[in-house]
Homo-oligomer: A and B are copies of this chain.
Amino acid sequence: MASGGEPSRATLQDVAARAGVSAKTVSNVVNGHPHVRPETRERVLQAMGELHYRVNLSARHLARGRTGIVALAVPWLSNPYFAELAHHVIRAARREAERGESVTVLIDETHSDLERERQLVAGVGPQLLDGVIISPQGLTRADLEALTPMGPLVLLGERIFDGPVDHVAADNVAAARELTAHLLERGRRRIALVGFGDQRAGTAQLRRDGIRQAVEAAGLTLDATLQLPVEGLEREHGMRAARRLMERPDPPDAVVCFNDVVAVGMLKALSLDGVGVGPGAAVAVTGFDNIPESGYTVPALTTVDWRTEELAETALEVLLDRIQSRRTLRPREITTPHRLVVRDSS
């Protein structure tokens, strides 16, 4: 049938006619409303079956004024952290759907493109989306205010202080502080930072602040020449950074990478060069995000876990709340817990 059997053209009216009832009644049955005599319901259901009836969602959306679609916008799906996040938001939505209104999640990639982020935010509302959860990379408070006539929006994982929108994120500063304290405790002194340079947005800065706090609390200072910007945040960039770092006459004894993906590249390069990594070895390496592969590198990577599942659930919950009661709620500011995961690389 060449993937084109006549697509179900039966409308609600058709069903109503066939069942000998009105459209309203069919609608009631379809939406599980009460007040339908069991016997009528039976007749309607049968008619629906015979005609292979399926609701036309576009029509429903138009009539209801809502689509039941929310978007999750992440910079890159190729970063396992964001893939995992998407996975958990989809699952949370499905659970939500099981006990109430159905929610569909549209995953979108912004490619860290500010323009794309703006479009998305501007597109909430009558457009297609009932709301958006976004992990912004470039979006500023000014953008949000300029784009004001916008719909429900939740910022995820990026702290824009006093922003006029709901915000769910872990405490990046504290996490970075704890991670660094751990390194210092293990006797590390020359700490290099990799990948914190090229970010317009705040995450890098927050983590850098946390690192600095820990270092200064120990009465030390960070060596500025050990802060390496990179051209991207992929594994290969971590790999190249490792080479630059280890070629120095005064290499670091610890490397804090901006995320696990970069750290994985770093570990690989060090392994190829025969540089020992881990407690008592030449250098310690850490990341952020606790992506699944971090438990399987050699050595396994010390990192920070953001409780992705909880983060995803919370973000969705906040968004749905906002969708239901638009103006009543004040912007919410939720901090989710994190956890330091110490493994063999430190």
Residue from B62, B296, B327 within 8 A of A2 (CB atoms): B327
Q: Is the Cβ of A330 less than 8 Å from the Cβ of B2?
A: yes
Indicate if A276 sits at the interface (CB-CB under 8 A): no
CA distance A109 to B105 in the complex (A): 10
Which of B3, B87, B235, B268 is the one whose CB lies under 8 Å from A78?
B87
Q: Digitize A64-98: 1 where CB-to-B-CB distance is under 8 Å, 0 elsewhere.
A: 00010000000011101001101100110000000
- The CA of A129 and the CA of B234, in the complex, are separated in Å by 34
Whole-angstrom distance between the Cβ of A147 and the nearest chain B Cβ: 9
Chain B residues positioned under 8 Å from A67 (CB to CB):
58
Q: Is A228 on the interface with B (CB-CB < 8 A)?
A: no
Q: Is the CB of A153 within 8 A of B78?
A: no
CB pair B87–A8 under 8 Å, yes or no, is: no
Q: Which of B54, B268, B297 contacts A126 (CB 8 A)?
A: B54
1/0 contact trace for A159-176 toward B, CB 8 Å?
A: 000001110000000000
Residues A3 and B151 in contact in the complex (CB < 8 Å), given A293-B235, A296-B268: yes
- Whether A126 lies near B83 (C-beta < 8 A) is no
* A150–B331 CA distance with the chains assembled, in angstroms: 43
Flag if B86 contacts A107 (CB, 8 Å). yes
Interface string of A18-57 (1 = CB under 8 A from B): 0000000000000000000000000000000000101111
From residue A253, how far is it (CB to closest CB) to chain B in Å? 21
Q: Does A4 contact B (CB under 8 A)?
A: yes
Task: Determine if A7 and B125 form an interchain contact, defined as CB atoms under 8 angstroms apart.
Answer: yes
Closest CB in chain B relative to A129 CB, distance in Å: 9
Tell me the bound Cα distance from A65 to B104 in angstroms: 20
On whether the beta carbons of B54 and A58 are closer than 8 Å, the reply is no
Decide yes or no whether A202 CB sits under 8 A from chain B. Answer: no
User: Shortest CB–CB separation between residue A314 and chain B, in angstroms?
Assistant: 16
Q: Which residues of B contact A54 (CB under 8 A)?
A: 122-123, 125-127
The reply to whether B78 and A84 contact each other, CB–CB distance below 8 Å, is: yes
A150 touches B62 (CB 8 A): no
Choice from B2, B77, B107, B268 contacting A298 with Cβ under 8 Å: B268
10 A-B pairs with the lowest CB-CB distances in the bound complex, closest first: A58-B61, A83-B83, A7-B125, A4-B326, A107-B107, A3-B165, A5-B148, A56-B126, A58-B62, A57-B128
